[in-house]
Amino acid sequence: MTQPKRIAVTGAAGQICYSLLFRIANGDVYGKDTPVALQLLDLPQAQKAVKGVVMELEDCAFPLLQDVVITDDPKAAFRDIDAGFFVGSRPRTQGMERRDLLNANAEIFRVQGEALNEGAKRDAKVIVVGNPANTNAMILAANAKDFPTENITAMLRLDHNRALTQFAQKAGVSVDAIAKFVVWGNHSPTMFADWTNATADGKPLAEVIGDEAWYKETLIPTVAKRGTAIIEARGASSAASAANAAIDHMRDWIKGSDGDWVSMGVSSDGSYGIPEGLMAGVPVVCEGGAYKRVTGLEIGPFQRQMLDRTVAELSEEREAVSALL
């Protein structure tokens, strides 16, 4: 019998995982021919709630779900894993400064980085979803000294997917007609949704839409503020769409992106003026279980300005957590 893929998921009692775990168990990441085993991590006080979620997983009778481990120990959660979804993180509470939030999460991801280093397979694929996702991913990588940094990524895919639908609606095409779109930089309101190279059914997207003012004044801020708009409308933050984006990110990385670009937060190699080591959203193409950065793009003045803004924020975040790097 095929060995199951072992998948760690942190923050298992949280709202994103209430969608994510069921999708993974259904075969949405590795496909319908690959059994999976879940290794669920959450805090000690959340263990009872995780057990409740696992009861529901059992009640789905997923044929591919072979084993579930519940733990509050990162070392047990990351042992022998093929993939890790790092969703759990410390939310911002009232009165908490941004720097305090960065530091509280930095400590969580330092501990988890050491555990990942100790137990995970060297070819395991890791996505960090928990915010601040980019900087958390950078800390994870810095503290997993013998684990390949290129296997640690941060999630920009929700921003990417959000923009795709806005473009498709404006252009009157289906979302899969749009190609070569990217979200650069930080998963934060400074992110840069860049349509410069994008096409709709093979034609330049900017020409198809023909409304640059809409792109700059409506699309970019709409995508940047979408998370807040969802909280206002739903009374809770985006969860199912975040889980879906994490699935898309991991599935494309494993199975390939059919030659199209996808946005992934990866450790910068210094290209496009992004300082080396920052975990920044860039365009990549996935093939054969690996991602390749899209290289050699020309960056125009508007792109430069937008890229510099989001990269400056990432640099500030790195500065704030420098003690743990």
Alpha helix locations (H) across the chain? 17-25, 47-59, 74-78, 98-119, 133-143, 157-171, 205-209, 212-214, 220-224, 226-234, 240-255, 301-320
Show Cβ contacts of residue 125 under 8 Å, excluding neighbours closer than 6 positions.
Answer: 82, 83, 84, 151, 153, 250, 253, 254
| Contact map string, positions 32 to 71, toward ligand NAI, x by CB under 6 A | ---------xxx--x-------------------------
Q: Which is nearer to ligand NAI, 70 or 209 (CB)?
A: 70
> Percent helix, strand, coil in the chain (nearest 5)?
45, 20, 35
Dist CA 263 CA 182 (whole Å): 5
Residues numbered 10-29 forming contacts with ligand NAI, rule: CB under 6 A: 10-11, 13-17
Annotated binding site for substrate: 92, 98, 131, 162
For residue 188, which of 18, 314, 86 has the smallest C-alpha distance? 314
Looking at 57, 64, 155, 284, which residue binds ligand NAI (CB under 6 A)? 155
Structural contact between residues 132 and 188, judged by C-beta atoms closer than 8 angstroms: yes
Annotated binding site for NAD(+): 11-17, 42, 105, 112, 129-131
| CB 99 to ligand NAI: min, Å | 16
| Contact map string, positions 129 to 148, toward ligand NAI, x by CB under 6 A | xxx-x---------------
| CB 141 to ligand NAI: min, Å | 16
| CB 3 to ligand NAI: min, Å | 26
Can 160 be counted among the known catalytic residues?
no
Write the CA distances from 123 to 8, 50, 146, integer angstroms: 14, 27, 11
| CB 72 to ligand NAI: min, Å | 8
Dist CA 280 CA 153 (whole Å): 9
Cα dihedral 136, 142, 146, 151 in deg (nearest 10): 40
Dist CA 261 CA 287 (whole Å): 11
Looking at 206, 239, 297, 299, which residue binds ligand NAI (CB under 6 A)? 239
Looking at 125, 162, 187, 249, which residue binds ligand NAI (CB under 6 A)? 187
Among 187, 226, 249, 318, the one annotated catalytic: 187
Looking at 238, 263, 267, 310, which residue binds ligand NAI (CB under 6 A)? 238
Looking at 158, 193, 278, 284, which residue binds ligand NAI (CB under 6 A)? 158
Does position 186 bind ligand NAI by CB under 6 A?
A: no
Residue nearest to ligand NAI (CB): 14
Write the CA distances from 109 to 139, 143, 155, 273, 321, integer angstroms: 6, 8, 15, 26, 11
Q: At which residue do the structure tokens 């995508």 appear?
A: 223
| CB 20 to ligand NAI: min, Å | 8
Residues numbered 92-111 forming contacts with ligand NAI, rule: CB under 6 A: 108
Q: Phi first, then psi: what are they for 192, rounded to 5°? A: -120, 110
Q: At which residue do the structure tokens 């349509």 appear?
A: 195
> Which positions are annotated as active-site residues?
187
Q: Name the site residues for ligand NAI (rule: CB under 6 A).
A: 10-11, 13-17, 41-43, 46, 87-91, 108, 129-131, 133, 155, 158, 187, 237-239, 242
